[in-house]
Amino acid sequence: MSETETKETTYKPTSPNSKLDFASIWEYAPAPQESGFAEIKDRYDLFIDGKFVKPSKGRYFKSTNPANEEIITEFGEATKKDVDKAVKAARKAYEGEWSRISPKERGKYIYRIARMLQERAREFAVLESMDGGKPIRESRDVDIPLVAAYFFYYAGWADKLEYAFPGKKPEPLGVCGQIIPWNFPLLMLAWKIAPALACGNTVVLKPAETTSLTALKFAELVKDAGLPDGVVNIITGAGQTGAEIVNHPGIDKIAFTGSTNVGKIIQKSLAGTDKKYTLELGGKGALVIFEDAPIDQAVEGIINAIYFNQGHVCCAGSRLLVQEGVADKVITKLKDRLETLIVGDPLDKNTDIGAINSKEQFETVNKYLELGVEEGADIYQSKCKIPENGYFIRPTLFTNVSQSNRIVQEEIFGPVLTVQTFRTADEGIEKANNTPYGLANGVWTDKGSKIFKVGNGMRSGVIWANTYNKFDPTSPFGGYKESGVGREGGMHGLAAYTKI
Amino acid sequence: MSEKRIDVKKTYKMYIGGGFPRSESGRTYKVYDSDKNLVADACQGSRKDFREAVKVARSAFSGWSGRSAYNRGQILYRIAEMMENRRDQFMQELGPIGFKTSEAEADINAAIDRLIYYAGWTDKYQQVFGSINPVASAHFNFSMLEPTGVVTAFAPENSPLLGLVSVIAPIISGGNTCVILASEAHPLPAISFAEVLNSSDVPGGVVNILTGSRKELAEHFSSHMDVNALCYTDELPKEIKTLIDENASLNVKRVIKRPVNDWYGENAQSPYFLTDFQETKTTWHPVGF
């Protein structure tokens, strides 16, 4: 405390816009989250039929902490034989014990999982931040509480399913193959496993290869919760393992969250089969800011929309559309606000923006930064300090972009915002709709009637009005157009796991 | 001097954008009755006809989806009224293709009743399948259903009237527009149904009916990048199923397969046929002062 008080610091703006240069002028005392209590084994095997088993080919791959590039642990690489074993275990469990348990009792297992997650919330949050690079504030306050909430919510549906489908007696589908991305590892696991189990299915889940840690921790928890063997199977591996799941004839349904490109490949490889599928794919969300919007709140909304989770959010608001009259004001305030963001150690409680999830993604985002400049856009990055090691990118915005620029059309999946203007509401709506995606959009205005008009006009599965990036288990989520098929969350999310 | 009157035979064309064009390709194929007598030269729709149909379906979408649910219900009911009026025409078309008089009557009755069934759903499905979601934060959060866009569909091959109507009604009652391929062997009732549509306040472009070869058009119905969903109710040959699914992945089309064997049966109508063509849109707004 005294150290920072006595230190003489003269205010030196690092950019013409940085009136509030918290990040490099104000020295925040480090506030690290203690992490020693979270146990990480040297090696994790596959979780099949209630047991941890070695991968059949004996191959393992390493997992890196993206904030310091240190190896955390290693995971087994599941090959065809392992996938087959997991599917068989899931089938046996589906036809055996799991289908004989009454829905009410089935629900209790899921409640139990929710409670155990709450008990161990801090441990999961720490591991999620270490493995994936997201700020502890987000894993602690957003990811893990939501994970527990999703299990808690769907647990209660187990014995009430006929109320979700008027006139029908819903039946489970069988064995569900589930493939999840690296941006919200445990949350996506919850989105997949909780409704699947509630509807009476069994699952084989593959987490992303860069973020498998919390899924394997979850496997331990499944054991602790006493779930019958084979109901939940978790196998690790990369794209090839995922393909083995997708193509396995013993699977009744595929649930995938990830990029639109991979989603298309999956949809294609399911061609001609009767497997059901849901796809939660990419997005290029637009934020439509009207002149009558409360500008300070809107700026905060923009920050939350694009810089939350390092921009690794499929529904991120990555295209800012500002009504012309307030464009300068919004951009100035936005640049000011950018300067206050702290990029750094994910386990530090001060950190706003953590590490880019992997080296590969770090390179992808950097390529887009170069591309934006090549396309003639004006780049602005905050001037904050960033750690020397690890994969960090300063929050970035591009102005002077046009609708046809690749940085405007393509999903970047990083802390990169493009800024455009519009004059009329119709133009704003049209620009917002002008991508193949349709996952989420935002609208800021003080006028309720305008919210409804603009919200109705935007073709996307989620509309955040005067807010952004909010999630809740009771609230359906999913895309229009090339952003996917089906919904997750809420009552609508049950449809993906039942025959009706 | 008495002369035998020559009856005027109908020329069967397709139905695109509220008009009745011939195929731009100039092609036709022969349609026979159950005794193998030639009854008509039907248009053999081409890829270009299909593209034109998608174009008009897309431009009709915002108007049709923007109609009030009440208005769409009125229009579906109006189709039923118009159809009731033209029973004789359908009798004349169903008889020669093997429907006994009583069967043809039952088919027409069921088709009319089906339109009324879906007319009734237009202003109710939103209430049954939409939701208000009790999120754990200070937000008002609701989910509503919205039509997915332009839908292509193969009408069932063996139920040229009732099956056709049963496929079209749930698509349009929910605000979508569509391009339908009529039964290949028995396309004539579909064109007469188009005349019913044309006289019943359905805006041009909302329903477009092509006649032609399923095998030829499956490729285009499934690969067009401005089509949002594709639907069929027959069991298709494996290679066509695979082709459709593979093409659908080009732009993540929704492929809806709801096999129906008996169009008179319990499973032939359902609000779930309607929700198949709907997207769920969830809106969040903060609550506070």
pLDDT tens track for A51-72 = 999 999 999 999 999 999 999 9
* Chain A residues within an 8 Å CB radius of B279: 461, 480
Name the token pair of A128.
Answer: 């999620």
Positions in chain B whose pLDDT score sits under 50? none
Instruction: Say if residues A128 and A139 touch (Cβ distance below 8 Å).
Output: yes
At A291, is the secondary structure helix, strand, or coil?
coil
Q: At what angle do helices B101-121 and B162-173 cross, to 10 degrees?
A: 10
**pTM beyond 0.90:** yes
Tens digits of per-residue pLDDT, B67-121? 999 999 999 999 999 999 999 999 999 999 999 999 999 999 999 999 999 999 9
CB–CB of A260 and B252 under 8 A?
Answer: yes
- Distance in Å, alpha carbon of B192 to nearest chain A alpha carbon: 33
- Distance in Å, alpha carbon of A152 to nearest chain B alpha carbon: 12
The dihedral through the CA atoms of A468, A474, A475, A478 has a sign that is positive
Supply the pLDDT for residue A20. Answer: 59
CB–CB of A472 and B133 under 8 A?
Answer: yes
Supply the pLDDT for residue A385. Answer: 87
pLDDT category at A29 given cuts 50, 70, 90 is: confident
- On whether any CB of chain A is under 8 Å from the CB of B138, the answer is no
Q: Which of B129, B281, B287 has the highest number of chain A CBs within 10 A, making it the mutation to test binding with A?
A: B281
**Can you tell me the ipTM of this complex?**
0.94
Supply the pLDDT for residue B3. Answer: 86
pLDDT of residue A5 exceeding 60: no
Cα distances from A7 to residues A25, A28, A32, in angstroms, run 11, 12, 22
- On whether any CB of chain B is under 8 Å from the CB of A460, the answer is yes
H-only helix segments in A66-184: 80-95, 97-100, 103-119, 121-132, 136-138, 144-155, 161-164
A314 is catalytic: yes
- On whether any CB of chain A is under 8 Å from the CB of B252, the answer is yes
A294-314 exposure pattern, b = at least 16 Cβ within 10 A, e = fewer: ebeebbbbbbbbbbbbbbbbb
In eight-state DSSP terms, residue A430 is H
pLDDT of residue A49 exceeding 90: yes
* Chain A residues within an 8 Å CB radius of B139: 467, 470, 472
Supply the pLDDT for residue A17. Answer: 52
- On whether any CB of chain B is under 8 Å from the CB of A420, the answer is no
